């Protein structure tokens, strides 16, 4: 394999939104989601249907995760067996209860990435020093995103249906021109400040293939080009939501670099990333009545200094 081009060289002339919302900003392009955008989103509710977009944590069929991470483990701490033991706590009136806990990667299920989750050249979103991540994220953690919430207009781009496949295969790349063709085919216009929700159904292959899914791991998805990045900047896209583990093709086929768009879009433009969604029921509903826009609401958990947070986004139609 030839050596990958480094991100500093690759993105030397790429646009940046650093400083656009002030020197202390930690939510980036989510600033585009103003009160007007909330109202624009709410106007897409027509039938009152609700679709939750989180994957099940602890799915008996397995939890897809980025290589090197492990699925969440849930453990019972108190259950009926606890109360049978001689040293069981006693509560007046005979109260029993169940308790449990999980050990989980905060990036190990449907999640919002903190804007500072990835970087190159020692600098995070807005120019913050990467050393502010040591021991916990002092800048651009998920906390400010969780504090504000994410509400606006979502638009579903069903790339799997667009390409005529049930589930997109590894290495299948596409770009903003494909998103526009997909939108045209669906009869929907992508508007400025829309939250892009991209369906590949790639993770169906995880459930079919088990551990073989990770052999030569290279998810399908958007691939880097200067034009694509400029399109995101011009369209003022606040949030990229997908049903893959990392929202983009894992390794850029041209430069050989990994997760280029995490850097070009998240680090440089401040676009929030939402990963590992389950878009199946939403996609089915959109295909039925050919309405591809909806009210999108997501409230990541407020976790101090965290790199990301589990979330259950909701699409209301
Ligand atoms: C990495 O950035 C490594 O992973 P994620 O897909 O969680 O953003």
Ligand 1 pocket test, candidate residues 66, 111, 264, most atoms within 8 A of CB: 66
For the chain, the DSSP string reads -PPPPPHHHHTTT----TTTT-TT--SGGGGG--HHHHHHHHTT-SS--EEE-BPPTT-TT-----TT----EEEEEE-HHHHHSTT----TT-----EEEEE--TTSSSEEEPGGG--BTTB-GGG-BGGGGTTS-SSS-SHHHHHH-EEEEEEEEEHHHHTT-SSPPTT-EE-HHHHHHHHHHHT--PPTTPEEEEE--TTHHHHHHGGGGGTT----EE---HHHHHHHHHHT--EEEESSSSSB-SB-TTT--BSHHIIIIIIHH--EEEESB--HHHHHHHHHHT--EEEEEE-----TT-SEEE---EEE-
Burial, 34: exposed, middle or buried (Cβ in 10 Å; 0-12, 13-18, 19+)?
Answer: exposed
Q: Specify the residue for token string 């009926």.
A: 80
Task: Find the 246 Cα to ligand 1 centroid distance in Å.
Answer: 5
In this structure, which residue's CA is closest to atom 6 in ligand 1?
A: 246
Ligand 1 pocket test, candidate residues 68, 245, 249, most atoms within 8 A of CB: 245
Same domain, 190 and 257: yes
Whether the pLDDT of residue 312 is over 60: the answer is: yes
Asked if 315 and 274 touch (Cβ cutoff 8 Å), the reply is no
Same domain, 163 and 78: no
| ipTM, 2 dp | 0.95
Enclosing domain of residue 96:
73-102
136 φψ region: left (φ > 0), alpha (ψ -120 to 50), beta (else) = left
Q: What is the pLDDT of residue 86?
A: 86
Asked if 249 and 218 touch (Cβ cutoff 8 Å), the reply is yes
What pTM was estimated for this model as a whole?
0.97
Same domain, 206 and 218: yes
Same domain, 228 and 241: yes
Residue 290 falls inside a structural domain: yes
Site residues for ligand 1, CB cut-off 6 Å: 66, 107, 113, 117-118, 245-246, 259, 262, 275
Same domain, 241 and 303: yes
Whether the pLDDT of residue 209 is over 80: the answer is: yes
Q: Which of 310, 311, 317 is nearest to 281 (CA)?
A: 317
Instruction: Pick the atom of ligand 1 nearest to 246's CA.
Output: 6
- Residue 1 — very low, low, confident or very high, per pLDDT cuts 50/70/90? low
Residue 80 falls inside a structural domain: yes
Same domain, 41 and 83: no
Residue 2 falls inside a structural domain: no
Mean pLDDT of 107-124: 97
Same domain, 80 and 194: no
Residue 266 falls inside a structural domain: yes
Q: What is the pLDDT of residue 2?
A: 63
Q: What is the pLDDT of residue 211?
A: 86
Task: Find the 208 Cα to ligand 1 centroid distance in Å.
Answer: 22
Asked if 21 and 134 touch (Cβ cutoff 8 Å), the reply is no
- Please count the residues of the chain: 317
Report the share of the chain in percent with pLDDT over 90.
Answer: 95
CA distance 248 to 259: 7
Parallel, antiparallel or unpaired: strands 50-52 and 314-316: antiparallel
Task: Find the 68 Cα to ligand 1 centroid distance in Å.
Answer: 11
Per residue in 58-107, pLDDT tens? Answer: 999 999 999 999 999 999 999 999 998 888 889 999 999 999 999 999 99
Q: Looking at 83-87, 148-152, 256-260, which range is the least confident one? A: 83-87
Same domain, 82 and 218: no
Instruction: Pick the atom of ligand 1 nearest to 259's CA.
Output: 2
Q: CATH number of the domain at 170, please.
A: 3.50.30.50
Q: What is the pLDDT of residue 87?
A: 87
Q: What is the pLDDT of residue 316?
A: 98
Same domain, 165 and 88: no
Asked if 155 and 114 touch (Cβ cutoff 8 Å), the reply is no
Same domain, 130 and 277: yes
Mean pLDDT of 214-238: 97
Instruction: Pick the atom of ligand 1 nearest to 273's CA.
Output: 8
Per residue in 299-311, pLDDT tens? Answer: 999 999 999 999 9
Mean pLDDT of 165-180: 97
Mean pLDDT of 174-180: 98
Per the structure, how many domains does the chain have?
2
Task: Find the 222 Cα to ligand 1 centroid distance in Å.
Answer: 15
Domain end residue (candidates: 102, 122, 153): 102
Residue 1 falls inside a structural domain: no
């Amino acid at each position: 394999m030839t050596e990958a081009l480094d991100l500093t060289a690759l993105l030397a002339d790429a646009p940046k939104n650093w400083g656009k919302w002030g020197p202390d900003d930690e939510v980036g392009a989510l600033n585009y989601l103003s009160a007007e955008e909330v109202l624009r989103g709410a106007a897409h509710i027509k039938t009152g249907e609700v679709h939750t977009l989180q994957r099940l944590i602890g799915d008996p069929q397995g939890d897809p995760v980025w290589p090197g991470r492990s699925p969440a483990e849930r453990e019972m701490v108190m259950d009926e067996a606890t109360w049978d033991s001689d040293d069981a706590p006693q509560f007046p009136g005979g109260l029993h209860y169940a308790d449990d806990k999980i050990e989980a990667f905060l990036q190990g299920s449907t999640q919002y990435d903190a804007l500072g989750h990835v970087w190159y050249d020692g600098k995070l979103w807005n120019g913050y020093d990467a050393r502010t991540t040591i021991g916990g994220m002092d800048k651009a953690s998920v906390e400010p995103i969780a504090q504000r919430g994410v509400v606006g207009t979502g638009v579903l781009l069903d790339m799997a249906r667009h390409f005529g496949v049930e589930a997109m295969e590894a290495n299948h790349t596409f770009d903003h021109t494909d998103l526009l063709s997909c939108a045209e085919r669906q009869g929907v216009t992508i508007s400025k400040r829309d939250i892009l929700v991209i369906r590949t159904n790639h993770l169906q292959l995880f459930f079919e293939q088990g551990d073989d899914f990770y052999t030569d791991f290279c998810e399908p998805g958007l691939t880097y080009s200067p034009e694509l990045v400029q399109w995101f900047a011009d369209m003022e896209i606040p949030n990229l939501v997908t049903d893959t583990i990392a929202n983009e093709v894992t390794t850029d086929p041209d430069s050989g670099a990994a997760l280029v768009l995490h850097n070009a879009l998240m680090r440089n433009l401040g676009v929030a990333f939402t990963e590992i969604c389950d878009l199946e029921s939403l996609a089915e509903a959109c295909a039925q009545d050919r309405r591809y826009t909806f009210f999108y609401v997501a409230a990541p958990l407020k976790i101090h200094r965290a790199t990301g947070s589990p979330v259950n986004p909701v699409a209301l139609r």
